[in-house]
Amino acid sequence: MKTLTEKIMATKSPWNNPYQGPDKKVLFVCSAGILRSATGARMYAHKYNTRAAGSEDYALIPVSNDLIVWADEIVFVNKENFDTVNRKFDLSDVMNKVVVLDIPDQFPHMDPELQKAFKAQYRG
């Protein structure tokens, strides 16, 4: 009998398998993937299947082709993060999945002001 991991990895595209459920898959992207995007992912995890990633090479979990393909929606916390990823991956084919917010890089994880900014700018 196969394990769940074995079943998922046996699918043609493991990022798009039935074991994730029907929720919309949302990728939040900031610079390092640990403060702003992690806050967004945490805030909306009750509603969506979320992930956080970073646009920069030093990110804990850098944006990858797999994450871009996996996501139904990609939420960049600001234009700088979008521009960085767009230079690396050319997002022209997935622009229908892209949302760009205007949240500066000045907040700690789950900061109340950061949460207010997400609530004001992201309609999800």
Q: What is the mean pLDDT of residues 3-29?
A: 81
Tens-place pLDDT, residues 57-109: 999 999 998 899 899 999 999 999 999 999 999 999 999 999 999 999 999 99
Amino acid identity of residue 117, one-letter, is A
- Is 97 within 8 Å of 73 (Cβ atoms)? yes
The domain segmentation of the chain, as residue ranges, is 22-121
Tens-place pLDDT, residues 26-51: 999 999 999 999 999 999 999 999 99
pLDDT at 4 over 70: no
Per-residue pLDDT at 59: 97
- Please give the model's pTM, rounded to 2 decimal places: 0.90
Token pair 């994880």 is found at: 109
Per-residue pLDDT at 6: 77
pLDDT at 22 over 80: yes
pLDDT at 11 over 70: no
- Is 101 within 8 Å of 75 (Cβ atoms)? yes
Higher pLDDT, 29 or 7: 29
Per-residue pLDDT at 7: 73
CATH class of the domain whose range is 22-121: alpha beta
Helix ranges, the chain (H): 4-10, 36-44, 65-70, 79-89, 112-121
